[in-house]
Amino acid sequence: MKHVLVILTFLCCSSLLSQEHENTSKFKFHSVSLTPLVVSKIGSGDGGGSIYADISASKDHHLFSVQFGTGSELDILEKNDSYSEFNFLYGRQFRINKNMYWDMHAGAGYFSFTTFDRNANNGIGGDVTSKTIGVPLTTKLRFMLGNKFSLGLQFHVNFNAESVIYNGGLVFQFNFKAKQ
C-alpha cells in the first residue's frame, strides 16, 4: 500500500513539473506549506505533538494537495500512541481581504496508528500497528507577509476507524505565484 502511494505521488508530481514547464495547461504549482509545531489530540488519549507538510497545485480556483503528517502523544510515564497519515486533498482558497486568505480542504488517505497493547505477544505486551483509510479535513487561515509568503493557523481532523486525530498549529506557506 505504501509503495503504491509513493509511486502515485511521484507520477503526480512529475506530471505537474512537466506541465509547469510546457505552460500548456492551467494546472500549476500553488504552494508548499509546513506546520512544525502542532498540538494534537489523539482519540481519547493524551495530547501530543505533530508535524505536517503539504504541496498544492491549482487549476482555476481548485486546489489539489498531497499532505503528510506524523505525531505522537507526549506521556513520560507510559508508552505513547503515535500515528502517521498520507492524504490526497481537494480544496478551495477564499480571499477575505487584501492580505488574508482562508483555505479549506477535504480528502482521503492512508492512516497508520500504533498503540501499546498489554495483551499482545502472549501477554507480554507490545506495540500494535493498525492501518486504515482516513478522511481528513484541513482549514488554514493565512495572512500574507509579502508577495509569496504567508503565516497563519492550520486546523486539521482525520476521521478513521482507529482513532480520530484533532490538531492545530502555526502554518508557514510559500506561494509559487505572487498574490494578486
pLDDT for 106-124, tens place per residue? Answer: 999 999 988 876 666 666 6
The answer to the question of residue 19 being in a domain is no
**pLDDT, position 21:** 46
The answer to the question of residue 15 being in a domain is no
Which residues, 6 or more positions from 31, have their beta carbon under 8 angstroms from its beta carbon? 55, 56, 173, 174, 175, 176
* Band of pLDDT at residue 144, cut at 50, 70 and 90: very high
The answer to the question of residue 80 being in a domain is yes
What's the domain range around 81?
Answer: 27-175
Q: At which residue does the C-alpha cell 488517505 appear? A: 109
The answer to the question of residue 155 being in a domain is yes
Beta strand 47-59 with 149-160: parallel, antiparallel or unpaired? unpaired
* pTM: predicted TM-score of the whole model, two decimal places: 0.77
The answer to the question of residue 110 being in a domain is yes
Q: How many domains does the chain have?
A: 1
The answer to the question of residue 79 being in a domain is yes
- The CATH number of residue 106's host domain is 2.40.160.20
pLDDT for 12-67, tens place per residue? Answer: 555 444 444 444 457 788 899 999 877 877 766 677 888 999 999 998 889 999 99
Phi, psi angles (nearest 5°) of residue 66:
-115, 125
The total number of residues written for the chain in this structure: 180
SS3 of residue 16 by DSSP? helix
pLDDT for 73-104, tens place per residue? Answer: 877 666 778 889 999 999 999 999 999 999 99
